[in-house]
Chains A and B, each alone.
Chain A
Amino acid sequence: MAFIDYYKILGVDKNATKADIKKAYRKLARKHHPDLNPNDKDAELKFKQVNEANEVLSNDENRKKYDKYGENWQHGEAYEQAEKQQRQSQQHYQRSSGAQDFGDGDYSDFFESMFGGGFGQRNANVKFRGQDFNAQLQLDLKDVYTTEKRVLTVNDKNIRLTIPAGVSNGQVIKIKGKGGEGVNGGPNGDLLIEFSINNTTNFKRDGAHLYKDVHLDLYKAVLGGDITIDTFDGKVKLNLKPLTQNGTQVKLKGKGFPVYKKDGQFGDLYITYTIELPKKLSDREKELFEELAKLQ
């Protein structure tokens, strides 16, 4: 159990007045408050530390005890043992008689060993909404082409989840009431699932539109004709115009990705033609190209 320097946490010196402590606390609380820093675990931890430091240093009795034992608080603990036991039994009585077991998890081990658990200015009967849980779900692009049902296990609980087709990489969906349990009968928190979508296909995705490069040989590009290309859900036959230029883009309407939460609607597929020149020519081919060049 590491010693915690509450003065350092609040950024005040040991001779700080109550007003200095209050001012430092308010400033840091505003900076790290979890509501102002959503989904920021570091801020949440810092806010807890700042609160803990304030609870100790803003209370004369606790500050005195903290100052008295300081870094050697462990030695001082023995002297406090009898008093602590008495306090613990009193707490146990209070808890079993219906008072709130307020935020054991909100205090450091150091704090609890020194001050015997939570206390504070907050009203012990207030109900609190449970914590929001964050989870990340990794899927392949193919997995989100159709709506899928999955069962996730979060904190040993199975949660049935419908993943709508067309969900985006980095998108977060909220499942109401599946987060942490509310404190003192308060409502449960939510479960926030972030989708991380891995694309191993040769399609590039931008929202509901897909992009793909199709390589053509020189002769096909010059003469045109039928070609077959792969779309996301099957093959499509296209008629290539003669003299198709390198970089030409063709839009295949409705052949893209499903539009999120819009059944039956799809984005478009954009095909970009890349024309490849022959890498080697036979003598005869070279002759013919030279003849062609003369015709130009």
Chain B
Amino acid sequence: MKDTQFIPLPSLCTHYKIEMSFFDGLSEYGLIEFISVEKTYCIHQDKMADVEKMIRLHQDLQLNFEGIDAVFNLLEKIDYLKSELTTTKNKLKRFEEN
């Protein structure tokens, strides 16, 4: 894996004007995982969309870590239910057609 896939946490703090403690909190709640690259904690770029979502939820809605965790769990459930609904609708088609 190339190093460019990993975004150093200090850069993220500067970029989003957010304190390191915020990322520490996310990590403590198991919401993100740090990867150490050359003694610097980093986040994998594939996780950035989630991290940005967490930052927005924190900044726009003043959600704390528990709130962010709850939201992510519920969004995961919604995704699962949506895919279940699609599968069920597709199954139902077997009996609806003709």
Contact = CB atoms under 8 A, between A and B. Distances in A.
Interface centre among A33, A35, A123, A170 (most CB of B within 10 A): A35
Interface in A140-169: 168-169
A168 B90 contact: yes
B60 interface: yes
B86 A205 contact: no
Contact of B93 (A36, A38, A171, A204): A204
A201 to B, nearest CB: 10
Contacts of B47: none
Interface residues of B, number: 23
A26 interface: yes
Nearest to B85: A170
Nearest to B54: A35
A205 B56 contact: no
A199 interface: yes
Given A36-B71, A125-B17, A126-B17, 18 more contacts: A26-B61, A26-B62, A29-B60, A33-B56, A33-B61, A35-B56, A35-B75, A36-B75, A126-B15, A129-B52, A169-B90, A204-B93, A204-B94, A205-B94, A206-B90, A206-B94, A207-B87, A211-B94
6 contacts: A123-B17, A125-B17, A168-B87, A190-B49, A207-B87, A207-B90
Interface of A: 26, 29-30, 33, 35-36, 38, 123, 125-127, 129, 168-171, 187, 190, 199, 204-207, 211
Interface of B: 15-17, 48-49, 52-53, 56-57, 60-62, 71, 75, 78, 86-87, 89-91, 93-94, 97
